[in-house]
Amino acid sequence: MPFIIAIDGPAASGKGTIARALAAHFGFHHLDTGLLYRATGAKGGDPVTAALSLDASDLARADLRSAEAGQAASRIAAIPEVRAALVDFQHRFAAQEPGAVLDGRDIGTVICPDAAVKLYVTASDQVRARRRAAELGADPEEMLAQLQERDRRDSERTAAPLKPAPDAVLLDTTHLGIPEAIAQAIAQVNKVRG
């Protein structure tokens, strides 16, 4: 049975960086599930049809990291039929040997509730806004407003809202550098793996 690591948290908290590092460290597969929603939104047309026709090549688009793609992803992620269409993709990915690291908003609560390790990565709104603004070359105040709106939408949606799984370990990266955050995540996985 594959070893599954579920990493959830809001945008720009550091969950993607931590997920990629864990996958590389342990030799596991990695899926940024947000890319599924970004790619679905970027395909245009009917979101449900786009989700049903999604394949791995759609995840390689260069425009998926833009703020616009993130906002579109958040809007279509609130559509239950889109979420349902993408669940099978995520389940198949998580079943790969020797293991998989999936990061998103509902991995530990909905997609992989039986994951061996569940992390909920967070940081203060101001730190997340600064990180995302630096990444995109955007205004930090404008980015703060966008992140707060997205957090509200993601947390209040009926289908798979953003929230930590009851058994998730909280990892607050507000005052952590990347190496420290990764080290804490590796330590959590090692604790479970023995």
- Annotated binding residues for ATP, written as ranges, equal 9-17
DSSP string for 85-137? HHHHHHHHHHT-SSEEEEEESSIIIII-TT-SEEEEEE--HHHHHHHHHHHHT
d(CA 150, CA 87): 21
Is 85 exposed, middle or buried, given 0-12, 13-18 or 19+ CB atoms closer than 10 A? Answer: buried
- Under 8 Å CB-to-CB from 162, ≥6 apart: which residues? 8, 9, 10, 105, 106, 151, 154, 155
* CA–CA gap between residue 104 and residue 11 (Å, rounded): 9
Distance CA(40)–CA(46), nearest Å, equals: 9
The number of residues in the chain equals 194
Look at residue 53 and give its three-state secondary structure.
coil
Which positions make up the binding site? 9-17
Query: Cα(82)–Cα(71) distance, rounded to whole angstroms?
Result: 15
